[in-house]
Amino acid sequence: MAPSLQLAREYKTITENPPPYIIAHPSESNILEWHYILTGPEDTPYHGGQYWGTLTFPPNYPFAPPAIRMHTPSGRFQPSSRLCLSISDFHPKSFNPAWEVSTILIGLLSFMTSNEMTTGSVAGSPSERKFYASRSRWWNSTGGGSHSNPKQKGNLKAGDGGAKFRSQWPELDKENWEWIRKNNIDPDTGYRSAGAASSSGSGCGSSCGPAIPGIAAAGSGGQTQAVVDRVVQQRDAGQGLLSKNKFYIAGAMVLVYLLLVRLYGDI
């Protein structure tokens, strides 16, 4: 069977009976390029995450495996890098022609939630992976914050402003932007804007971090300056406290001195 017919049949199958946590479809312009979304399963650090990636099939599929990439940062894989798996093009001899797109994506999800390492994977703590999960929807639809100044349209690594994701997943992109607005997420940074309610239910979790008094959410440069200003304020406040109580402090020191003189005089 020709690859196009095989993949058309598999698209029908995966659409009618999608595996849990997985959706996928071929590109309209190239049936050999598929786009998938993995949703982080419960009881994993990826819970709630929206992980977008691509499968690039060879012309002789299903007798050779696809190249597998995950574009969304996850703390598990290097973004947009080819993954070395038994179901990927790194190991064509181990690929079984009976495996379908759903089989490949189920295998990818299974590997993602394990602790095995391979080419293209990275080591990360559960807290780091939860952090990436909380920012995944923002990253997909803004191109990692490059939406206001895309460096090159269609170039994921350069920052395409979310153009590629939007072209493949328009409905999800719309939902993501509604989520960003509803939860007061700054599109440029991926963090909640100043004044956002802590109980907004945004799923931001640990990525928001504890609030620092007197510091509003800002870009890295502004936040650094705000931290410096806060430290200066605290230092000046400490100096003011000493200045206001200098007479009491001096009196206490004199009293201690007299007590020491009397003690040593008695000895």
Nearest to 211 by CA among 198, 199, 202: 198
Tokens matching residue 98 = 């009976």
Give the type of residue at 43.
Answer: D
Give CA–CA dist 208/202, Å, rounded: 10
3-class DSSP assignment, residue 230: helix
Residues 6+ apart with CB under 8 A from 173: 140, 141, 162, 165, 166
Q: 3-class SS at 210?
A: coil
For residues 166 and 75, what is the distance between their CA atoms, to the nearest angstrom?
A: 23
Of 8, 84, 208, 218, the active-site residue reads: 84
208 flagged as catalytic? no
Whether residue 62 is preceded by a cis peptide bond, meaning omega within 30 degrees of 0, is yes
Tokens read off for 164: 């590629």
User: Longest Cα pair distance anywhere in the chain, in angstroms?
Assistant: 109
- The DSSP symbol for 39 reads E
Q: How far does the chain reach from its first CA to its final CA, in angstroms?
A: 107
Strand partners, 77: 121
Sign of CA dihedral 57, 62, 63, 66: positive
3-class DSSP state for residue 8? helix
CA distance 263 to 48: 70
Residues that are catalytic: 84
